[in-house]
């Protein structure tokens, strides 16, 4: 059995996934690269170090579950699944094409490794609560992980789910907030301010951990710390940069839902290949 990848290798995997995101969204001519790039470091850590899962047994009963609540960033989930062996990487280039298993948003039943269909923002945490509650009722040890966008937290259903999770003592539920502070309409704090965000989660009874979402070591440590909880759910607020890894895409809301044009594609690929071993 091979050793789990270390921090440098996890960073390398994250950058490979960023390249996958650029290639597949450009081939599709559409998609959501910005928020996919900001979550790549987390996804590398989850799929290569944290999740208990088996690509050759996607329905393994005791597997950990992952819910991508911000379903529009499906490209980074598909990249994680392909890089970890759920399906051939060549299939990534079929993203959003007619007949492809890689829908614009994750769709359960189309592709192995997809736990729930998501894309209607604000609903993923509720579904994750249901999965976590089922595990608790069945005395299972699996963890349920849920990735939320920060703009998505403007949806009230998230806070109903947060209240429910604390009330039911779902300590095997771990949520992540991709706090890149940009949504399709611009800066999240200008659209509808969420600060002070940590205090809001605290008020709903959650353990709160704040990290640099691009620091692999901090992500690993936060995931380990979250598992120490014996009573409450945990949220890990990750301070991130939208479009991380491609200089002209970083902090640029234009790339929330737009693929690269040919010149941008060449520039993005060159930047990413320069840092991939």
Q: What is the pLDDT of residues 18-41, one digit of tens each?
A: 999 999 999 999 999 999 999 999
Which of 203, 163, 214, 169 minimizes the C-alpha distance to 44? 214
Rounded Cα–Cα distance for residues 146 and 63 (Å): 14
Contact of 68 with 39, CB cutoff 8 Å: no
Any idea how long the chain is?
Answer: 277
- Indicate the pairing of strand 207-212 with strand 234-239: parallel
- Encode the chain (277 residues) as per-residue pLDDT tens digits: 578 999 999 999 999 999 999 999 999 999 999 999 999 999 999 999 999 999 999 999 999 999 999 999 999 999 999 999 999 999 999 999 999 999 999 999 999 999 999 999 999 999 999 999 999 999 999 999 999 999 999 999 999 999 999 999 999 999 999 999 999 999 999 999 999 999 999 999 999 999 999 999 999 999 999 999 999 999 999 999 999 999 999 999 999 999 999 999 999 999 999 999 9
Which of 234, 267, 235, 254 minimizes the C-alpha distance to 35? 254
Helical (H) or strand (E) element with 252: none
The label of the residue with tokens 């890894």 reads 245
Q: What's the pLDDT tens digit per position in 111-160?
A: 999 999 999 999 999 999 999 999 999 999 999 999 999 999 999 999 99
Rounded Cα–Cα distance for residues 229 and 251 (Å): 34
Helical (H) or strand (E) element with 78: helix 74-83
Alpha-carbon radius of gyration of the chain: 17
Task: Locate 113 and state its tokens.
Answer: 């490794």
pLDDT of residue 252: 96
pLDDT of residue 98: 95
Domains, the chain, with CATH or none: 7-275 (3.40.50.970)
**Phi/psi of residue 146, nearest 5 degrees:** -140, 125
pLDDT of residue 1: 53
Contact of 178 with 70, CB cutoff 8 Å: yes
Contact of 140 with 189, CB cutoff 8 Å: no
Task: Locate 50 and state its tokens.
Answer: 């944290």
Which of 173, 104, 83, 184 minimizes the C-alpha distance to 136? 173
Residues 6+ apart with CB under 8 A from 173: 128, 129, 132, 143, 144, 146, 165, 233, 234
Exposure of 180 by Cβ count < 10 A (0-12 exposed, 13-18 middle, 19+ buried)? Answer: buried
pTM equals 0.97
């Amino acid at each position: 059995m091979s050793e789990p990848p270390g921090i440098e290798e996890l960073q390398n995997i994250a950058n490979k996934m960023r390249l996958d995101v650029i290639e597949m969204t450009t081939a599709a001519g559409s998609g959501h690269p910005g928020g996919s790039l900001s979550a790549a470091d987390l996804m590398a850590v989850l799929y290569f170090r944290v999740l208990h899962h088996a690509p050759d047994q996607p329905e393994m009963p005791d597997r950990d579950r992952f819910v991508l609540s911000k379903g529009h960033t499906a490209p980074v989930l598909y990249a994680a699944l392909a890089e970890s062996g759920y399906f051939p990487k060549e299939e990534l280039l079929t993203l959003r094409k007619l007949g492809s298993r890689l829908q614009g948003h994750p769709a359960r039943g189309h592709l192995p490794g997809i736990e729930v269909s998501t894309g209607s923002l604000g609903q993923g945490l509720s579904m994750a609560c249901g999965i976590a509650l089922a595990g608790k009722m069945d005395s299972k040890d699996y963890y349920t992980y849920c990735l939320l966008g920060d703009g998505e937290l403007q949806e009230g259903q998230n806070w109903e789910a947060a209240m429910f999770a604390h009330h039911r003592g779902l300590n095997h539920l771990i949520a992540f907030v991709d706090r890149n502070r940009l949504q399709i309409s611009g800066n999240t704090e200008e659209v509808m301010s969420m600060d002070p965000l940590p205090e809001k989660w605290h008020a709903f009874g959650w353990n709160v951990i704040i990290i640099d979402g691009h620091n692999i070591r901090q992500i690993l440590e936060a995931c380990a710390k979250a598992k120490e909880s014996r009573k409450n759910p945990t949220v890990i607020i990750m301070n991130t940069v939208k479009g991380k890894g491609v200089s002209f895409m970083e902090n640029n809301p234009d790339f929330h839902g737009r693929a690269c044009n040919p010149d941008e594609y060449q520039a993005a690929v060159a930047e990413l290949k320069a840092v991939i071993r």
